[in-house]
Amino acid sequence: MFQARSFKHCKTCGSAVSYAVPPDDNRERATCGACGAIHYENPLNVVGTLPVWQDRVLLCRRNIEPRHGFWTLPAGFMELGETTAAGALRETDEEAGARIEMQALFTLLNVVRVGQVHFFYRARLLDTDFAPGPETIEARLFREEDVPWDELAFPTVRETLRRFFDDRRRGQFGFHMADID
């Protein structure tokens, strides 16, 4: 089970926190002995798209760590004040400079070991003119047989692409959910 324990000090008063199970709770929380505040650590949401042009998908080569130089779908952390779809659209613009039409949620992946949930939406590319941002070395379209499978940055990207191409062969697209180790 993932256990972050990232709190060292109380966000309310600045005193040191300790981890204990508060009354009427069932797991350890960062608890402030000075002011009594309880701080909750929750998963981070990663939002992105699976942009498609005909029989090809758009991948971005990362210009940042982790996994600098590896390929990924356009995605990143969801910001406060945005929906998962709005965040996915923003990340696609920031990372690939791609113009898309958002479609249905394609996959939800639980990555418990790192405390994340990944949401990938299908997206229809409106054209093939890309303007990658500073986090991306290049953005490029790939057919299934050309995907650099050994150079994919994350297991969630591999799983999403695998399911997409499997669905494409069957001629039907559904919603997918999985737990990733």
Q: Which residue has the tokens 């000075």?
A: 34
The pLDDT assigned to 5 comes to 75
Per-residue pLDDT of the chain (181 residues; tens, 9 = 90+): 556 678 899 999 999 999 999 999 999 999 999 999 999 988 999 999 999 999 999 999 999 999 999 999 999 999 999 999 999 999 999 999 999 999 999 999 999 999 999 999 999 999 999 999 999 999 999 999 999 999 999 999 999 999 999 999 999 999 999 999 8
CATH topology of domain 1-41: Ubiquitin Ligase Nedd4; Chain: W; (2.20.70)
DSSP 27-74: S-EEEETTT--EE---PEEEEEEEEEETTEEEEEEESSSSSTT-EE-S
In the chain, the amino acid numbered 123 is A
- The Cβ of residue 81 has, within 10 Å, a number of other Cβ atoms equal to 7
Domain limits, the chain: 1-41, 44-179
Homologous superfamily of 44-179: Nucleoside Triphosphate Pyrophosphohydrolase (3.90.79.10)
pTM exceeds cut of 0.75: yes
Virtual CA dihedral for 154, 2, 180, 101, nearest 10 degrees? -60
Cβ contacts of 25 within 8 Å, gap of 6 or more: 38
